[in-house]
Every structure is written in C-alpha cells, then in structure tokens.
Amino acid sequence: MCPSPLTIQTADADDAAAVRALAEQATAEAGSPVLNEQSLIALAGATDTAPIVLIARAGEAPVAAAVIEVADAASTLELVLPDGADAGPALLDAVLADDRVPADRPVLLWAHGRGSRTAPLAEGRGYEAIRSLYVLRRPGSLAVEDAPLPPGVELSTFRPGVDNADWLAVNAAAFATHAEQGRWSAADLQARIDEDWFDAAGFFLARSSGSGELLGFHWTKTERAEPGGPITVGEVYVIGIAPAAAGLRLGSALLAVGLRHLQDVGAPVVDLYVDGDNTGARALYANRGFAEHNLDVCYRIR
Ligand SMILES: CC(C)(COP(=O)(O)OP(=O)(O)OC[C@H]1O[C@@H](n2cnc3c(N)ncnc32)[C@H](O)[C@@H]1OP(=O)(O)O)[C@@H](O)C(=O)NCCC(=O)NCCS
C-alpha cells in the first residue's frame, strides 16, 4: 500500500488536542519534553501571545507539528516528530516558506534533549548550532551547604498580586541579556501563578531590610506525575539577582534556601537549566553537587 501523501496546514483550535497528543507521544519516545514550558502554556491559551502551529497530516491522520513563536529579535521553532512519519524536512520547508515568519530575522530551531529527533535532522541539513542549554541534576538528599544571607537582607516569600511588579523589574534587569527569560510580561508571570504546581511557599524573595528594595529571588518548582501524587522532580525554576546586588553571595544564599525547601518537601532530585555561556550561573552551580543530565541545542536555520 502506498503511504498517504503528507499535507501541512495551519492548526486551528480544533487541532489543539491532536497537537498535544502528538507532543505527548514524541516526548515519551524521546525521553524528554519536545516542547518547552512557554510553548505548552501558550498552546493552552494562557498567555497574551499565541504561537503559529503547523500540523502535518498523512491523509486524515495528524502525524507531526511545528510550533513557531515570532518575536522581535528572532522566531523560535520546535518540532513535534513522533515515530512513524518522516515529516521533519517538509515541516522545516513549510516554516521557511511561511510569510508570517519574518524573512529578515533569524529563525532558531530548538532540539530538546539528547534523544531529540530534531537534532539529527538539523545536523543533516548543516544548520549551525548556536546555543547549548544544559540540564543539570543534583540528588535531593544531598546536604545543603550553609550560605548565610548578606547583612541587611531579609527573606520573604512571594505574595501574588503584591510582589508582581517588583519581581518583573528585577527579573528583567537580572536577565537583560537572556533572550526568553528577560522579556517575561505580567501575563507570563500570571500564567505561572495560575498553574497547579505554583506554590508561593517555594518562591523566595530577598529584600533590603532598610528600604524594602527587592534584591534577588529564587523561585522553585515541583513536578508530580499525577495531581496529589509524590513529587518526581524539584527544580531551581528561576534564580536572579539585581545587577546592583551581584557578587554579594546573595545568589549562593538564595540557592541554599531553595534547595533546603525542595529537600523539606521531599523532591528526590533537583534539576535546573543553564546556558552554556552563562559563566556567572555556572560558577554558582559548580561544586554544589549538580551534574550534567541532558542537553538542549539551538540551531540557526535562517
Ligand atoms: C548567577 C547569579 C544568580 C549569581 O548570583 P551572585 O549573588 O552574583 O553570586 P554569588 O555572589 O553568590 O557567587 C556565587 C559563585 O559564583 C561566582 N560568580 C558569580 N558571578 C560570576 C560571574 N559573572 N563570573 C564568574 N563567576 C561568578 C562567584 O565567584 C561565586 O563563586 P564561588 O562559590 O566559587 O566563590 C547572578 O549573577 C544572576 O542573577 N545572573 C543573571 C541571572 C541568571 O543567569 N540566573 C541563573 C539562570 S540559570
């Protein structure tokens, strides 16, 4: 029997469940998520920016998808390529030909995890790898070293609706050179606060005890296989220090506070994502029990 011809179309609201099912299948096969958290939240319609989604069908059956986020500096692309159809090359060609993807700006393709189907496709087409994002992992039971807060600094936890603006300002300043994290909007923050996993008790703020100024934060996250089930992974979700407070060992202190919290709630392992070229953060995590666990690679395809 001849294989059904492949067609590629823009996915509409009716295709959302099919795209999520393809992503779940590809994730299970690859051993790590094929879409990042931002895409999953955007696909669920919880942010103010909607991605472009292309869906590939063999005959009637959805077989693969591409999720494209168009932004000022560059467009980013993730492919959902479950076993079966060889739809990757056709999806890449469709993205590059799509006139909603600005032709005068870079298009960046993410390959998530070492089991990614996207990486061999990108390598095969000779695309240049321009960024490495490491997943580091540490056993949750490892003793957390003492790291006192600098003098004149007070610890508190995040108050939704009260601390939002302060947090957005320090996040933007700390991550000014970071493509995604630095441009989080109020809606991006709110979308996370509204997630089931959100727990203000694991979202730590460090403020000046005199002025109350926010100097830094460590937001931890926990994942569970099913709601109410045991924690499967703890995460150093976002840690950032206001540039004016950098180098005071506040990062070390906040890291320890968050690791201790994740230990207290029973996280068996602690993961974090760090850019290969983020010297400061890599120095912070070095010698604190984190080992390389996985790798995401970003390719420039235009
Ligand atoms: C990474 C960051 C949290 C570190 O906070 P900090 O308060 O400046 O760090 P500390 O003063 O506690 O220093 C911790 C260690 O990192 C080292 N370090 C900090 N910044 C550094 C830099 N820019 N270059 C090299 N080493 C650096 C310190 O020397 C120290 O090393 P040691 O433990 O061997 O003595 C802070 O620089 C930051 O907010 N960066 C931008 C946001 C970011 O990248 N977050 C992490 C995302 S994964």
Reduce the secondary structure of 206-235 to three states and give it as a string.
EEECCCCCEEEEEEEEEEECCCCCCEEEEE
Determine if ligand 1 sits within 6 Å of the CB of residue 247. yes
Residue 36 vs residues 69, 113, 226: alpha-carbon distances, Å: 12, 11, 19
Instruction: Mark whether 240 and 269 lie in a shared domain.
Output: yes
Q: Give the pLDDT confidence score for residue 117 in this predicted structure.
A: 96
In one-letter notation, the amino acid at residue 129 is A
Q: How far is the CA of 47 from the centre of ligand 1 (A)?
A: 30
Q: Give the pLDDT confidence score for residue 44 in this predicted structure.
A: 82
Q: What residue owns the CA closest to ligand 1's atom 48?
A: 274
Domain hosting 163: range is: 137-295
Q: Give the pLDDT confidence score for residue 1 in this predicted structure.
A: 56
Nearest-angstrom CA–CA distance, 23 and 11: 14
Closest CA to 160 of 192, 208, 119: 192
Q: Give the pLDDT confidence score for residue 42 in this predicted structure.
A: 83
Determine if ligand 1 sits within 6 Å of the CB of residue 189. no
Give pLDDT tens digits for 260-278. 999 999 999 999 999 999 9
Q: Give the pLDDT confidence score for residue 2 in this predicted structure.
A: 64
Q: Give the pLDDT confidence score for residue 181 in this predicted structure.
A: 92
Q: How far is the CA of 256 from the centre of ligand 1 (A)?
A: 13
Q: How far is the CA of 67 from the centre of ligand 1 (A)?
A: 33
Q: How far is the CA of 131 from the centre of ligand 1 (A)?
A: 20
| 1 part of a folded domain | no
- 193 forms beta bridges with none
CB neighbours of 243 closer than 8 A, spacing ≥ 6?
173, 174, 176
* Residue 185 tokens, joined: 């909007």
Q: Give the pLDDT confidence score for residue 107 in this predicted structure.
A: 98
Q: Look at the chain and report how many structural domains it folds into.
A: 2
Determine if ligand 1 sits within 6 Å of the CB of residue 254. no
Instruction: Mark whether 102 and 184 lie in a shared domain.
Output: no
| 227 part of a folded domain | yes
Q: 91-121 burial, b if ≥16 CB within 10 A, otherwise e?
A: bbebbeebeebeeeeebbbbbbbeebbbbeb
| 131 part of a folded domain | no
Instruction: Mark whether 102 and 145 lie in a shared domain.
Output: no
Q: What residue owns the CA closest to ligand 1's atom 24?
A: 280
Burial of 20 (0-12, 13-18, 19+ CB in 10 A): middle
Q: Give the pLDDT confidence score for residue 49 in this predicted structure.
A: 76
Q: What residue owns the CA closest to ligand 1's atom 21?
A: 280
- 204 forms beta bridges with 157, 218
In one-letter notation, the amino acid at residue 124 is G
Q: What residue owns the CA closest to ligand 1's atom 10?
A: 249
Nearest-angstrom CA–CA distance, 216 and 174: 9
Last residue of a domain, one of 107, 126, 145: 126
Instruction: Mark whether 56 and 201 lie in a shared domain.
Output: no
| Beta carbons of 154 and 206 less than 8 angstroms apart | yes
Q: How far is the CA of 239 from the centre of ligand 1 (A)?
A: 10
Q: How far is the CA of 249 from the centre of ligand 1 (A)?
A: 8
| 132 part of a folded domain | no
| Beta carbons of 79 and 64 less than 8 angstroms apart | yes
Instruction: Mark whether 228 and 258 lie in a shared domain.
Output: yes
Q: Report the phi/psi class of residue 143: left, alpha or beta, with left for phi > 0 and alpha for psi in -120 to 50.
A: beta
Determine if ligand 1 sits within 6 Å of the CB of residue 284. yes
| Beta carbons of 181 and 132 less than 8 angstroms apart | no
Phi first, then psi, for residue 63 (nearest 5°) are -125, -20
Q: Give the pLDDT confidence score for residue 50 in this predicted structure.
A: 85
Q: Give the pLDDT confidence score for residue 283 in this predicted structure.
A: 93
Q: Give the pLDDT confidence score for residue 85 in this predicted structure.
A: 84
Instruction: Mark whether 148 and 286 lie in a shared domain.
Output: yes
Q: Give the pLDDT confidence score for residue 178 in this predicted structure.
A: 86
Instruction: Mark whether 74 and 171 lie in a shared domain.
Output: no
CATH of the domain at 249: 3.40.630.30
Determine if ligand 1 sits within 6 Å of the CB of residue 252. yes
Mutate which of 215, 239, 284 to test ligand 1's pocket (most atoms within 8 Å of Cβ)?
A: 284
Instruction: Mark whether 103 and 169 lie in a shared domain.
Output: no
* Residue 32 tokens, joined: 């790590």
Last residue of a domain, one of 92, 126, 160: 126
Establish how many alpha carbons lie within 13 A of residue 104's alpha carbon, considering only the half-sphere containing its beta carbon: 1
Q: How far is the CA of 248 from the centre of ligand 1 (A)?
A: 9
| Beta carbons of 220 and 203 less than 8 angstroms apart | yes
Phi first, then psi, for residue 173 (nearest 5°) are -70, -45
- Residue segments in the chain with a per-residue pLDDT below the cut of 50: none
pLDDT > 70 fraction of the chain, expressed in percent and rounded:
99
